[in-house]
Amino acid sequence: MDKIHDVAVLVGSLRKDSINRKVANALIELAPAGLTLSIVEIGQLPIYNQDGDENPPTAWSTFRERIKAADAVLFVTPEHNRSVPAALKNALDVGSRPYGKNVWGGKPGAVVSASPGAIGGFGANHHLRQSLVFLNVPAMAQPEAYLGGADKLFDASGKLANEGTRKFLESYMQAYAAWVGANAKS
């Protein structure tokens, strides 16, 4: 990979001490050379309403510009009622509007889901992938990443403490770097 690719990381959980934010920070730490990952906050985005398209809130415009500038996107999400959290769905909507101005289009993406439960956010992971198809985000199919029992993977300081998970996430990020390198437009 010759170019350093800018990756926008969206965390579905808004909690400061969330499991998924810890996972995102671990992914940032494990990113191979050639990828620069940074979390793009979504909690400040007003709920999407088409009435705001003519005079969008500053938060929408700033968010859209940041996603548009990114070479790729990485989603890290918990599962809420077998789907994605409302804040993450809102971010998808804000970035895909107004009609014809989708900032997600063509950016290679991937989804990591994490949960204290055994199935690791499987429902949210797949539900998000359905939206990504419509938004024209080519999502990495393999390897898949569902982190079950994720509340036990980190130490008291929020650092990844499970060596098996560390090795898996390193491998995942290597695959993601290859995916971005093969699919990024720039």
**21 falls in which pLDDT band (50, 70, 90)?**
very high
Is the pLDDT at 33 greater than 80? The verdict is yes
Q: Which domain holds residue 115?
A: 5-183
Cα 53 to chain centroid distance, Å, stands at 24
Q: How does pLDDT run across 47-105, given as a tens digit for each residue?
A: 999 999 999 999 999 999 999 999 999 999 999 999 999 999 999 999 999 999 999 99
Closest Cα to residue 112, out of 171, 42, 47, 156?
171
Q: Which residues contact 15 (CB under 8 A, 6 or more apart)?
A: 21
Q: How does pLDDT run across 130-154, given as a tens digit for each residue?
A: 999 999 999 999 999 999 999 999 9
Is the pLDDT at 40 greater than 80? The verdict is yes
Cβ proximity of 18 and 91 under 8 Å:
no
Q: Which amino acid is residue 185, in one-letter code?
A: K
Number of domains, the chain: 1
* CA count, 13 A, side-chain hemisphere, 136: 11
CATH of the domain at 120: 3.40.50.360
